[in-house]
């Protein structure tokens, strides 16, 4: 076994030590006196900021050292930079508030929030573009450029041209605009992505709006608290706590987006839950904003809170009604699965056709075609017609087997249809029943073809073998009978020759896949007496005069023939009773009953004879039951019950 590489473990320990050292630095800096008269930030708040930064640094550094993140190292690298910046921010604030370092330190402390907030906007955009396979960097460039313009405009407005207030306005507008760019850039990567890549892009998209959402939440809580009589520093405390929580949560989600596939946080259920959580946060933010506006109208605090709660409920109602839409955002194939399930009461043999029609409706292409892999080298269309393996130009694979080989392919007609099909992702689970139906139908066609070839062989064998021998025997008897002097003997020979010729006719009919003419035209009342005529002295026949459908009569005909033949050949029966009755009422409708009793040796076992076994299969094919048992008075009873309609 290859030796384990110790470097990831060493780097992981280094990340943990770096996080602890940074947190210790924050705690030490918070012991400095706070001399800033404009606002006061408590030491526990700065500790909380340090804890958030240390957590981001530890997670990002560990991810960067883990080989499973090797393909997307840029996101953990930016995460490390974000963690360091988040740890440095409370230290700078403490040093500046203590009056150490002069104006430069004060300026750095006042403007340093731009660094972590720019990084936390850039990380989700970068993660979304990487996991979706898009290599262009226009959104990353836009985020960096917006932050740069904001910093330059604000710096000029504060330090160089304080009389030009427009610079400060431009700086603020571009700064807040950056918070819109990041979600737009991250969610743009979701469009066109499929499967796990889409879920990763959604997770990255959830990370992008988290910092402004959490900051807004904390600011609104602080502002509402101030209006209700809290301290004036509560707004600053809420702002910085929201900044810390938002940055840490966004960085964590971005690491999940580029993390190992085995993560349980990348399942459809987990991603949907995360999306619901974000929507819930936004609903509460709306409620807090409404409550704050209500307090500005001099409403009492309980009334303002009630108004805010009502606003939250109003926002939550449409959100709750969008459950199916939210799931489709994360898993576009859900719409396909739901539509297939809606047709679940249809016949099994129509599953492939239903899947094709549903897909056509979803992608809005009535000419869309599907092909299905039925074995290693054979593809067929939905009508089971063979399709060349390379017959579809640039197809979209909708389903794969356990070895990763395509099993269902679509042939899109346009680029728009291709994009919609690609967004469905892996539909293997949805299409598995339809694929099974196609394969079963294909096997039935092959089995029917093989059976037809076997019937053709049997027809040829009957024609060349048994039929010729029977005709030869009849001719031999006819010639021999002409030389007999006894008129009675000549009559018996003539009757035997006639029976042999009738038998040849029946063999010819059966060999051709048809039934004896007497059965076709006269039914059981005409055919059974003819069949049993050679042994009429041994057989008592009781027969219903009613006609039934042809396949039912054929089954009853062969049951009687096989049972009587077995009784004479194997049981040495002296008497045979044949009863064909019906239609008799039964629990599932009317039934035709065929019973053959003999007084022979008994002990018949349908498992040991191919004739009875084939009869049992034939009876089962009609939905009936064949029973073979010993008679109490001796001999064997063969009984078949066949449904014949209600």
Q: Highest mean pLDDT: which of 93-97, 297-301, 338-342?
A: 93-97
**Residue 3 falls inside a structural domain:** no
Q: How far apart are CA 214 and CA 627, in angstroms?
A: 76
Burial class (CB in 10 A: 0-12, 13-18, 19+), 430: buried
**Residue 326 falls inside a structural domain:** no
pLDDT, tens digit (0-9, with 9 covering 90-100), for 457-501: 766 665 555 555 665 566 566 666 666 767 777 677 677 766 766
Is the bond preceding 120 in cis, omega lying within 30 degrees of 0?
A: no
Q: How far apart are CA 105 and CA 380, in angstroms?
A: 73
- 3-class SS of residue 403: coil
Examine the domain organization and report whether 202 and 117 are in the same domain: yes
Q: What percent of the chain has pLDDT over 90?
A: 7
Residue 337: its pLDDT value, please?
Answer: 72
Q: How far apart are CA 582 and CA 589, in angstroms?
A: 12
Q: How far apart are CA 351 and CA 370, in angstroms?
A: 13
Q: How far apart are CA 136 and CA 134, in angstroms?
A: 6
Examine the domain organization and report whether 434 and 560 are in the same domain: no
Greater confidence (608 vs 110) lies with 110
**Residue 595 falls inside a structural domain:** yes
For range 6-31, the mean pLDDT:
74
Q: Which two tokens stand for residue 518?
A: 């007497």
Query: Sign of the CA dihedral 433, 438, 442, 444?
Result: positive
Examine the domain organization and report whether 246 and 379 are in the same domain: no
Which of 257-261, 327-331, 585-589 has the least mean pLDDT? 585-589
Q: How far apart are CA 320 and CA 582, in angstroms?
A: 61
Q: Please give the tally of structural domains in the chain.
A: 3
Examine the domain organization and report whether 369 and 262 are in the same domain: no
Examine the domain organization and report whether 366 and 259 are in the same domain: no
For range 5-10, the mean pLDDT:
48
Greater confidence (329 vs 11) lies with 329
Residue 482: its pLDDT value, please?
Answer: 64
Tell me the helix, strand and coil percentages in the chain, rounded to 5: 65, 10, 25
Examine the domain organization and report whether 340 and 262 are in the same domain: no
Phi, psi of 364 (to 5 degrees): 60, 50
Q: Highest mean pLDDT: which of 83-97, 173-187, 558-572?
A: 83-97
Among 238, 266, 294, identify where a domain stops. Answer: 266
Q: Which two tokens stand for residue 416?
A: 């728009």
CATH of the domain at 532: 3.30.565.10
CATH of the domain at 257: 1.20.1070
Residue 512: its pLDDT value, please?
Answer: 53
pLDDT at 398 over 60: yes
**Residue 400 falls inside a structural domain:** yes
Q: Which of 24, 42, 54, 18 is nearest to 94 (CA)?
A: 42
The mean predicted confidence, pLDDT, of the chain is 77
Counting other chains too, the contacts that 447-450 makes at CB distance below 8 Å and 24 or more residues apart are: none
Residue 343: its pLDDT value, please?
Answer: 61
Residue 90: its pLDDT value, please?
Answer: 92
Examine the domain organization and report whether 636 and 547 are in the same domain: yes
For range 443-468, the mean pLDDT:
66
Examine the domain organization and report whether 93 and 227 are in the same domain: yes
| DSSP type of residue 536 | T
pLDDT, tens digit (0-9, with 9 covering 90-100), for 574-584: 888 999 987 76
Confidence band of 5 (pLDDT split at 50, 70, 90): very low
Q: How far apart are CA 125 and CA 144, in angstroms?
A: 11
Cα-only R_g, the chain: 43
Examine the domain organization and report whether 103 and 240 are in the same domain: yes
Among 406, 426, 441, identify where a domain stops. Answer: 441
**Residue 320 falls inside a structural domain:** no
Q: At what angle do helices 487-511 and 467-481 cross, to 10 degrees?
A: 170
The C-alpha angle with vertex 638 and arms to 634 and 644, in degrees rounded to 5, equals 150
Identify whether the C-beta of residue 434 lies closer than 8 Å to the C-beta of residue 352: yes
Q: Which two tokens stand for residue 506?
A: 């029946």
pLDDT, tens digit (0-9, with 9 covering 90-100), for 344-362: 555 555 778 888 888 888 7
Examine the domain organization and report whether 55 and 177 are in the same domain: yes
For range 90-112, the mean pLDDT:
85
Confidence band of 1 (pLDDT split at 50, 70, 90): very low
- What sections of 30-72 are H helices per DSSP? 43-65
Identify whether the C-beta of residue 242 lies closer than 8 Å to the C-beta of residue 220: no
Q: How far apart are CA 628 and CA 640, in angstroms?
A: 9
Confidence band of 600 (pLDDT split at 50, 70, 90): confident
For range 431-439, the mean pLDDT:
82
Q: Which two tokens stand for residue 330?
A: 């994360």
Whole-prediction pTM: 0.57
Q: Which residues contact 588 (CB under 8 A, 6 or more apart)?
A: 643, 646
Examine the domain organization and report whether 425 and 538 are in the same domain: no
Confidence band of 3 (pLDDT split at 50, 70, 90): very low
pLDDT at 25 over 50: yes
**Residue 190 falls inside a structural domain:** yes
**Residue 242 falls inside a structural domain:** yes
Q: Which two tokens stand for residue 295?
A: 């307090």
Which of 377-391, 600-614, 620-634 has the least mean pLDDT? 600-614
Is the bond preceding 583 in cis, omega lying within 30 degrees of 0?
A: yes
Among 227, 249, 266, identify where a domain stops. Answer: 266
Q: Which of 137, 209, 204 is nearest to 178 (CA)?
A: 209
Which strand (E) or helix (H) includes residue 541?
strand 539-543
Q: How far apart are CA 103 and CA 631, in angstroms?
A: 115
Q: Which residues contact 3 (CB under 8 A, 6 or more apart)?
A: none
Greater confidence (78 vs 463) lies with 78
Examine the domain organization and report whether 80 and 205 are in the same domain: yes
Identify whether the C-beta of residue 75 lies closer than 8 Å to the C-beta of residue 254: yes
Q: How far apart are CA 188 and CA 128, in angstroms?
A: 9
Count of positions (residues) in the chain: 646
Which of 95-99, 613-617, 641-645 has the least mean pLDDT? 613-617
Residue 70: its pLDDT value, please?
Answer: 45
**Residue 132 falls inside a structural domain:** yes
Kindly tell me the number of DSSP H helices and DSSP E strands found in the chain.
22, 10
The Cβ of residue 385 has, within 10 Å, a number of other Cβ atoms equal to 9
Q: Which domain holds residue 429?
A: 333-441
């Amino acid at each position: 076994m290859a030796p384990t590489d110790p470097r990831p473990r060493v780097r992981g320990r280094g990340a943990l030590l770096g996080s602890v050292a940074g947190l210790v630095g924050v705690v030490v800096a918070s012991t400095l006196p706070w001399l800033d008269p404009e606002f006061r930030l408590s030491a526990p708040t700065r500790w909380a900021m340090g804890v958030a930064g240390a957590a981001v640094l530890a997670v990002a550094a560990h991810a960067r050292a883990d080989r499973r993140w090797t393909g997307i190292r840029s996101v953990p690298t930016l995460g490390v930079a974000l963690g360091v910046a988040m740890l440095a921010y409370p230290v700078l604030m403490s040093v500046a508030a203590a009056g150490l370092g002069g104006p430069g330190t004060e300026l750095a402390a006042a403007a340093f929030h731009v660094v972590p907030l720019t990084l936390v906007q850039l990380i989700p955009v970068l993660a979304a573009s990487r996991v979706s396979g898009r290599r262009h960097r226009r959104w990353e460039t836009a985020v960096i450029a917006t932050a740069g313009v904001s910093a330059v405009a604000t710096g000029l407005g504060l330090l160089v041209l304080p009389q030009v207030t427009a610079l400060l306005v431009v700086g603020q507008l571009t700064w807040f605009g950056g918070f819109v760019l990041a979600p737009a850039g991250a969610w743009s990567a979701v469009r066109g992505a499929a499967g796990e890549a889409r879920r990763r892009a959604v997770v990255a998209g959830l990370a992008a709006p988290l910092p402004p959402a959490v900051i807004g939440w904390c600011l609104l809580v602080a502002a509402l608290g101030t209006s209700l009589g809290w301290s004036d520093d509560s707004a600053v405390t809420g702002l910085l706590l929201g900044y810390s929580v938002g940055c840490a949560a966004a960085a964590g989600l971005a690491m999940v987006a580029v993390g190992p596939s085995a993560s349980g946080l990348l399942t459809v259920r987990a991603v949907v839950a995360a999306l619901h959580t974000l929507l819930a946060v936004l609903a509460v933010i709306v409620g807090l904003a409404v409550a704050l506006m209500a307090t500005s109208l001099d409403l009492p605090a309980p009334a303002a809170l009630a108004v805010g709660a009502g606003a939250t409920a109003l926002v939550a109602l449409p959100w709750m009604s969008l459950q199916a839409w939210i799931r489709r955002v994360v898993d576009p194939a859900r719409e396909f699965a739901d539509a297939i399930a809606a047709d679940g009461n249809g016949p099994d043999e129509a599953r492939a056709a239903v899947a094709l029609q549903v897909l056509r409706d979803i992608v809005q292409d009535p000419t869309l075609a599907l092909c299905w892999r039925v074995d290693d080298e054979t593809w067929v269309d939905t009508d089971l017609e063979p399709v060349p393996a390379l017959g579809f130009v640039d197809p979209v694979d909708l389903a794969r087997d356990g070895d990763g080989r395509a099993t269902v392919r679509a042939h899109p007609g346009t680029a728009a249809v291709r994009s919609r099909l690609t967004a469905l992702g892996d539909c293997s689970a949805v299409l598995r029943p339809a694929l099974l139906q196609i394969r079963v139908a294909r096997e039935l066609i092959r089995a029917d073809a093989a059976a037809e070839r076997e019937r053709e062989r049997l027809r040829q064998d009957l024609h060349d073998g048994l039929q010729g021998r029977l005709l030869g025997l009849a001719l031999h008897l006819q010639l021999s009978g002409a030389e007999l002097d006894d008129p009675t003997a000549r009559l018996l020979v003539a009757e035997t020759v006639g029976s042999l010729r009738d038998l040849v006719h029946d063999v010819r009919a059966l060999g051709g896949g048809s039934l004896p003419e007497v059965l076709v035209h006269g039914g059981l009342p005409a055919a059974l007496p003819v069949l049993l005529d050679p042994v009429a002295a041994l057989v008592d026949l009781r027969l219903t005069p009613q006609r039934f459908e042809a396949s039912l009569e054929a089954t009853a005909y062969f049951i009687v023939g096989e049972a009587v033949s077995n009784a004479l050949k194997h049981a040495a029966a002296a008497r045979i009773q044949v009863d064909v009755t019906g239609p008799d009422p039964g629990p599932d409708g009317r039934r035709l009953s065929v019973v053959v009793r003999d007084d022979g040796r008994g002990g018949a076992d349908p498992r040991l004879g191919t004739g009875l076994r084939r009869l049992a299969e034939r009876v089962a094919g009609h939905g009936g039951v064949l029973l073979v048992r010993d008679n109490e008075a001796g001999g064997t009873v063969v009984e078949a019950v066949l449904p014949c309609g209600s």
